[in-house]
Amino acid sequence: MRPETLALIEAGTAAKGDVIGVARIAAIQAAKRTADLIPLAHPLALTRVAAEFTPDARGPSLSLSVTVETVGRTGVEMEALTAVAVGLLTVYDMCKAVDRGMRIESIRLVEKAGGKSGRFVNREG
């Protein structure tokens, strides 16, 4: 994104309001609604969804990391990935009037524990 766009987001002065706050809620809602959005995904009882935004003026960029937990015997990768996608799409939607050139890139699973396949750590970041 452009430096001015990141500055608006960090200052909380975007025309549509608190971009980070709204995008965090969107990410949490998306995690909870994954089964409605992804064909063949099944609904899960989530015990925790946390969405953490990190601004980086060097990029300039805004990163989103989502942690999802459940006590069930299944993974929650799709919930986390869906949450990241929707959270970042919300940032785009709220800021597109000032910066249509923003890009969403590098959505990936970083780490997973539990479920049938056990632990996974993405060594590439």
Closest C-alpha among 77, 76, 90, 82 to residue 25: 90
Q: Is 93 a catalytic residue?
A: yes
Q: Which of 18, 36, 93, 99 is catalytic?
A: 93
| Residue 88: CB atoms within 10 Å | 22
Strands, E, within the chain: which ranges? 46-56, 61-70, 111-112, 120-121
Nearest to 68 by CA among 93, 55, 89, 86: 86
**Annotated catalytic sites, by residue?**
93
